[in-house]
C-alpha cells in the first residue's frame, strides 16, 4: 500500500511539472495579423510614436505649433518670447483686451480674490498676508510703479520671488484683466472702498460721523 502511494505521488509530481512547463512556454503561435492598419494608424498621431517620422525634425510625430500662433483657450499669451523672462515679456507682450469699464470691473473682482490678500485692496502691500510677512511692495511707488503690462502678466503667470505662480488659477484673459486693474493701482487711482453700513446710515441721516483728519472736529 505504501509503495502504491509513493508511485502515485511521483506520478502527480511529474504531471504537475509538465503542466507548469506547458503553461510557461512562449512557443505558442500568436496567429496572423491580417489587418495591421487596424492596430497601427497610417496617419501620424502626435501622442503615439511607433517608428521614426521621416517628415518631422528629430523623427518625432509631435511638433511645436507654428511660431506666432496661439492655441485655443490660450489667448493673450505669446509662448514664443525671445527670452522667457519678465523683463523681455514687458517689452514684447501687450494687453490684447480693450480697456473699458467692463474689463476693468472684472479685473478688480479678480484682483480682490487672488491678489488683495497680499497686495492689499489699494495695492499698497498691506493685505492681511502682506502685513504678516512684510516686504510686499506698493504698486504706486518705486520701480514697481513703472512696470509694463507684459511684465506684470508674466509675473502673475510664473510667479517671482516669494510670489507663487497663478497661471493655473486664472486663465490668460483673466490675467490680462487683473493687469489692467493693477496698472490703475500703479497710478494711485484705486476706487475708494464702499463705506461701512453704519457710516452709510449716518451719512444718509446727516448725523455726525468721523472726525476731520485735519481739524479733529466732527464732520457734519
* Residue 46 to residue 65: CA distance in whole angstroms: 12
| Ramachandran category for residue 176: left, alpha or beta (phi over 0 → left; psi -120 to 50 → alpha) | alpha
Give me the residue spans of the domains in the chain.
86-186
Helix (H, G, I), strand (E, B) or coil at 133: helix
59, 61, 60, 56: which is closest to 43 by C-alpha? 61
State the distance between the two ends of the chain, measured CA to CA, in whole angstroms: 119
Element (H, E) at 114: helix 101-114
Whether domain 86-186 has CATH 1.10.760.10: the reply is: yes
Write out the chain's pLDDT in tens, 220 residues: 656 656 656 656 556 665 555 555 556 777 777 777 777 777 878 788 878 888 887 888 887 777 777 677 665 555 568 888 999 999 998 998 999 999 999 999 999 999 999 999 999 999 999 898 888 989 998 899 999 999 999 999 999 988 999 988 998 899 999 999 999 999 887 654 434 444 444 444 444 444 444 444 444 4
Amino acid at each position: 500500500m505504501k509503495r502504491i502511494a509513493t508511485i502515485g505521488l511521483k506520478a502527480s509530481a511529474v504531471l504537475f511539472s509538465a503542466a507548469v512547463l506547458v503553461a510557461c512556454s512562449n512557443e505558442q503561435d500568436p496567429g496572423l495579423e491580417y489587418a495591421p492598419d487596424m492596430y497601427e494608424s497610417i496617419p501620424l498621431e502626435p501622442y503615439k510614436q511607433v517608428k521614426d517620422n521621416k517628415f518631422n525634425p528629430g523623427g518625432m510625430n509631435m511638433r511645436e505649433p507654428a511660431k506666432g500662433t496661439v492655441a485655443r483657450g490660450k489667448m493673450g499669451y505669446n509662448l514664443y518670447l525671445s527670452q522667457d523672462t519678465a523683463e523681455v515679456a514687458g517689452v514684447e507682450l501687450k494687453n490684447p483686451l480693450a480697456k473699458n469699464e467692463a474689463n476693468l470691473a472684472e479685473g478688480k473682482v479678480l484682483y480682490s480674490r487672488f491678489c488683495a490678500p497680499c497686495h492689499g485692496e489699494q495695492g499698497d502691500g498691506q493685505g492681511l498676508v502682506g502685513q504678516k510677512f512684510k516686504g510686499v511692495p506698493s504698486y504706486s511707488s518705486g520701480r514697481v510703479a513703472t512696470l509694463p503690462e507684459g511684465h506684470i502678466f508674466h509675473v502673475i503667470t510664473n510667479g517671482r520671488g516669494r510670489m507663487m505662480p497663478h497661471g493655473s488659477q486664472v486663465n490668460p484673459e483673466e490675467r490680462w484683466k487683473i493687469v489692467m486693474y493693477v496698472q490703475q493701482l500703479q497710478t494711485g487711482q484705486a476706487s475708494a472702498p464702499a463705506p461701512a453700513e453704519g457710516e452709510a446710515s449716518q451719512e444718509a441721516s446727516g448725523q455726525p460721523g468721523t472726525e476731520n483728519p485735519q481739524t479733529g472736529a466732527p464732520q457734519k
